[in-house]
Amino acid sequence: MIRKHVCPTCESEYELTSAHVPVRDKDSISCQICGTEIISWNGSRIWDAKLLKRGEPPSP
Ligand SMILES: [Zn+2]
C-alpha cells in the first residue's frame, strides 16, 4: 500500500509505503526537514517514507 503524505508543519511531501512483517514492530518516522512525526505504528504493518518534495522548515 502506498499513500502520499504532506507534513503538516513544513509541507514536505512524502510517499509512504507499507509492508507486512511477521512480527509486531513499534516505531515511527519523523519528517526529515522539521522533525514532526509523520507516522507511527505498533503492529505488523510497518512503513517506509520517501521524500518527494522538500518543504520549508518553520522559522523559529
Ligand atoms: Zn516537516
pLDDT at residue 60, rounded to an integer: 76
Residue 35 lies in a domain: yes
Task: List pLDDT tens digits, range 16-51.
Answer: 999 999 999 999 999 999 999 999 999 999 999 999
pTM score of the predicted model: 0.88
Cα 60 from Cα 46, distance rounded (Å): 32
State the distance from the centre of ligand 1 to the C-alpha of 25, rounded, in angstroms: 24
Residue 60 lies in a domain: no
Is residue 17 in some structural domain? yes
Report how far Cα 28 is from the mean position of its chain's Cα atoms. 7
Indicate the pLDDT class of residue 59, thresholds 50, 70 and 90: confident
Rounded to 5°, angle at Cα 51 from 46 and 57: 115
What's the structural domain count of the chain?
1
Report yes or no on 38 lying in a domain. Answer: yes
Tell me how far the alpha carbon of residue 19 lies from the centroid of ligand 1, in angstroms: 23
Secondary structure class of 12 (helix, strand, coil): coil
**Separation of CA 26 and ligand 1 centre (Å):** 21
Q: How far is the CA of 11 from the centre of ligand 1 (A)?
A: 6
Ligand 1 centroid vs 22 CA: distance in angstroms?
Answer: 30
What's residue 6's pLDDT?
Answer: 98
